[in-house]
Chains A and B, each alone.
Chain A
Amino acid sequence: MKGMTLIVRTITDFVVGFIVVFGAYIVLYGHLTPGGGFAGGVIIACAFILLMLAHGKDVAFSKLGQHTAHVLDSAGALTFLLIGWIGLTAGYFFMNVFGRGEPFRLLSSGMILPANIAIAFKVGSSLFLVFAALATFRRKSFRAIIEDELT
């Protein structure tokens, strides 16, 4: 993919930072306002996909490499599992053992905030990987595949 025109690229440069900040807000305030790890992670993935559509895949991969995305994907899933295991050491799986704090504060509700962050990393990087797979892997037309099979 080569990227788009100068207008699209300029607007993308303005907007992409705000999209990431908004996604981070949705993730971090997931236990206070509507939103959460899944929605915020998808928003952050959308920012990188916008970058890839506007500037081409090389610029997007320089910001978030494919290997890094793989590592973040697995690390997010493992962190979420680890949070469950921490609960298991104290009682049952996913027991809320961290300090719960005051309601309506950012640092409250114990394990929900770290779990949200882990899910955001997991969802965001994996959805970015799906789009990266579509953009990276060389696509053959269906007819070319059939002709290869026949010859």
Chain B
Amino acid sequence: MENITPQLYTLLVFMVVGSVVAIETRNLLSAVISVSAVGFALSVAFLFLGAPDIAITQLVVEVLVLVILIRGTILIDNTAIESHRDTLAVVTSLIFFGLVLGFGAMIFGGAGFPEFGEPLMRVSKVYVQTGLPATHAANIVTAIILDFRAYDTLGEATVLFTSILGALALMRREGKTTRREVATA
């Protein structure tokens, strides 16, 4: 595996800049587009890391979310509401920035991470070794998410189902009535 760290760092810097632009920009549509740029860069990062399944899903969901968000923001009046800076938000960001720097110093100064791409794979080693013989699925990712960890996938499907249910219930403005109720009213 060739060294991909420079490409990953470039993408990482791009994503950080995109996130900051998305937060700081005044125009809502520019913020939406910046968020989508971050998502597409993440998809490219997944491709570099050798995870095409996640890259495809990320790309496709990103396209859909971009369309939905643009559809949602393009009609409304998108002027900036607040002009003063929230002190609490600045303080919280600075604290988190300091925490990240501190942990980074601890890790890189002390024992350090395991080698990039070679973590301690106890459970996943078993999955990788027995994936093909146990499930006969050529794509190991699908074998894991739909056979070894299918229970997790069921939970994920339930989360999606429930959130769609909630969104539809919230967006429906007028209540449902039956034909009989309309006739008697």
Chain B residues in contact with chain A, CB under 8 A? Answer: 52-53, 55-57, 60-61, 63-64, 67-68, 71-72, 75-77, 132, 134-139, 141-143, 145-147, 150-151, 153-154, 157-158, 160-161, 164, 167-168, 171-173
Contacts and interface: CB of A to CB of B under 8 A. Distances in A.
A54 B181 CA distance: 37
Contacts of A37: 146
Contacts of B71: 131, 134-135
A28 B135 CA distance: 16
B146 A39 contact: no
B158 to A, nearest CB: 7
A148 B24 CA distance: 33
Contacts of A96: 134-135, 147
Contact of B136 (A81, A84, A100): A100
B50 to A, nearest CB: 11
B76 A142 contact: yes
B60 A32 contact: no
Given A46-B63, A73-B164, A123-B160, A34 B138 contact: no
Given A49-B67, A134-B71, 12 more contacts: A34-B55, A34-B139, A39-B56, A46-B63, A81-B154, A94-B150, A102-B136, A103-B137, A110-B147, A131-B67, A137-B173, A140-B173
B68 A129 contact: no
Main secondary structure of the interface of A (DSSP, over half): helix
Given A122-B161, A130-B68, A139-B75, A104 B138 contact: yes
26 contacts: A26-B56, A30-B142, A31-B137, A31-B146, A34-B141, A39-B53, A39-B57, A42-B57, A73-B161, A84-B150, A84-B151, A84-B154, A103-B137, A108-B138, A109-B138, A112-B142, A112-B146, A115-B146, A122-B160, A123-B157, A129-B164, A130-B167, A131-B67, A134-B72, A138-B173, A142-B76
Interface residues of A, number: 54
Contacts of B151: 84, 93-94
A46 B55 CA distance: 17
Interface of A: 26, 30-39, 42-43, 45-46, 49, 53, 73, 77, 80-81, 84, 93-94, 96, 100-104, 108-112, 115-116, 119, 122-123, 126-127, 129-131, 133-135, 137-142
Contacts of A102: 136
Contacts of A131: 67-68, 71
